[in-house]
Chains A and B, each alone.
Chain A
Amino acid sequence: RKEVEQDPGPFNVPEGATVAFNCTYSNSASQSFFWYRQDCRKEPKLLMSVYSSGNEDGRFTAQLNRASQYISLLIRDSKLSDSATYLCVVNPPNAGNMLTFGGGTRLMVKP
């Protein structure tokens, strides 16, 4: 089992749609969780951290479910500019600031 698993997609959605991605992680003691966004042929950039209580940043909402070992990202009112690959990132226990990356979920928002 991969340490961090994501559905690679692509998710093809129309503008204005709501879309959700899930990501599962294997180590129940993992400490920190993030969503990064990566545009085609560019570097990843931090989209948001994922807190135990969940967090929201504008149209983006991230949730953590420790019991089921998954995190989610919800995007409301999708824009064309949201088209990118979304990387689920986990900080394993006893690893300092080392990160484990999922393979990414590709989102394509169509007009």
Chain B
Amino acid sequence: DGGITQSPKYLFRKEGQNVTLSCEQNLNHDAMYWYRQDPGQGLRLIYYSQIVNDFQKGDIAEGYSVSREKKESFPLTVTSAQKNPTAFYLCASSISAGLAGETQYFGPGTRLLVL
């Protein structure tokens, strides 16, 4: 099956802890994205990557970090600097990030809760 997988489905973070959310795709897409969704709000872009070894900050990058060492993988680390991390985190991919109008396909998401 082709698609995007995210793990874990639920993640609990303690104060001062860094946690890493996994995102893998086997669609051979160049572009990958991380979004955050808060209740009743639209998705907000955290980071995106157009190609391996390259990534750019989105609208709300503070307190987050990413890497793109492989085309298939785009992990997101929520650092202790992110003071309000409780949210639904969604990973997406598209064929490219440079052309407007390309469909973005989403993974099932990870719910992060702070203990």
Do A and B interact?
yes
* Cβ B31 vs Cβ A97 within 8 A: yes
Interface residues of B in 97-115 (CB under 8 A from A): 97-109, 111
| Residues of chain B lying within 8 A (CB to CB) of residue A45 | 106
Q: How large is the interface on B (under 10, 10 to 19, 20 to 34, 35 or more residues)?
A: 20 to 34
Q: In the complex, A44 Cα to B91 Cα: how many Å?
A: 11
* Cβ B107 vs Cβ A43 within 8 A: yes
Instruction: Please encode chain B, from 67 to 106, with 1 for each CB lying within 8 Å of some chain A CB and 0 for all others.
Output: 0000000000000000000001010001011111111111
Partner of B100, one of A32, A41, A102, A104: A32
* Cβ A97 vs Cβ B97 within 8 A: yes
Is B48 close to A, CB under 8 A? yes
- How many A-B residue contacts, CB cutoff 8 Å? 62
| A interface list, Cβ under 8 A from B | 4, 8, 31-32, 41-46, 49, 87, 91, 95-104
| B interface list, Cβ under 8 A from A | 31, 35, 40-45, 48, 50, 58, 88, 90, 94, 96-109, 111
Can you report 20 A-B residue pairs in the complex whose CB atoms are below 8 A from each other?
A8-B40, A32-B101, A41-B88, A43-B109, A44-B90, A46-B103, A49-B103, A87-B42, A91-B100, A91-B101, A96-B50, A96-B97, A96-B98, A97-B96, A97-B98, A97-B104, A98-B97, A101-B42, A104-B40, A104-B42
